[in-house]
Structure 1
């Protein structure tokens, strides 16, 4: 039987207490915070992040830390959340923390592992996400993984005195074509 949480280069893992201090460092990077979320940028302590994790609704949110398979280094996190079991729909969020790890294919592999998990383990029908229009690298990863634009919340995000669109994207289970081989 294949391990659905392990790809060629990354592993989806249970969060460990020591991970949260490292993730806290990512929250001091304004670029990281402002691309990932529409909320105001604000540094978060490891304690804050761990508390948030401990308070997740385990019935509607599946949260993993992403580690390099080679050296077990923490790369990021990924979550399926706001799961509506009756409708088989979930939201997705993903982040690769260290700028030097971005653009290396870790995000694509992580996204594909999580989509495989969502569609084939959780039996989801559709996965949705929101992305700020300025985050072109993330948009390219989403499109290459099969996500399609479903709508635009025009000028919904304010950054540095300018307004930007927020794109809504979705992927149906029937349209998912894995881009990785499970181990």
Structure 2
């Protein structure tokens, strides 16, 4: 087992390893994952390998696998990227790899772990993301973590014969911790 970078109740986050490239490649071939993430390029194994080797050299990002604590199974990946230490901002992206793990709070827990790290350890004050309007499940997860809609890029992506809006969301540290406190009262992370 690869040592966890951050651990929660049901999942842990660990650095991406070369042995994960095949999993990432397989996931990027799934039409539903491609739709939800807005992936339109065809990603070969070689492209993925080159990308992650380049990411590993960057000082302004963390690429992590989301792993179930109970059996060490990879269920997704996320990245904290575009870290700007001067302005104390960053962005995040996440993908849960299989439908059976979606909607169970794993993504929310994983994002909570990386957001807590960003705000408490890296001194980031705002984290942003984008999500397509048709991804209601993800929007709900982000809102549980304190994200608020900040803007819309209308009709930015063409998918399944239609144009869809790209919703820009962001969360400040104090919004995240307020939402975390409220979740604790209501125990609704999942």
TM-score normalised to structure 2 length? 0.86
Instruction: State the partner residue of 1:53.
Output: 52
Aligned residues: 176
Counterpart Cα distance in 1 of 2:136 and 2:88 = 28
Counterpart Cα distance in 1 of 2:108 and 2:78 = 11
Q: Deviations over 1:105-162 (max 9, x none)?
A: 1101001001001111111010000001011110010011110000011111111331
Tell whether the 8 Å contact from 1:20 to 1:50 is kept in structure 2 after alignment: yes
Q: Quote how far apart the aligned CAs of 1:40 are.
A: 1.4
Instruction: State the partner residue of 1:88.
Output: 88
State the structure with bigger RCO (CA 8 A, min sep 6), 1 or 2.
1
Counterpart Cα distance in 2 of 1:160 and 1:100 = 22
TM-score normalised to structure 1 length? 0.89
Instruction: State the partner residue of 2:78.
Output: 78
Gapped regions of structure 1 (runs ≥ 5): none
Tell whether the 8 Å contact from 1:133 to 1:167 is kept in structure 2 after alignment: yes
Counterpart Cα distance in 2 of 1:89 and 1:68 = 28
Tell whether the 8 Å contact from 2:130 to 2:168 is kept in structure 1 after alignment: yes
Indicate the structure with greater helix content: 2
Q: Quote how far apart the aligned CAs of 1:62 are.
A: 1.1
Tell whether the 8 Å contact from 2:151 to 2:169 is kept in structure 1 after alignment: yes
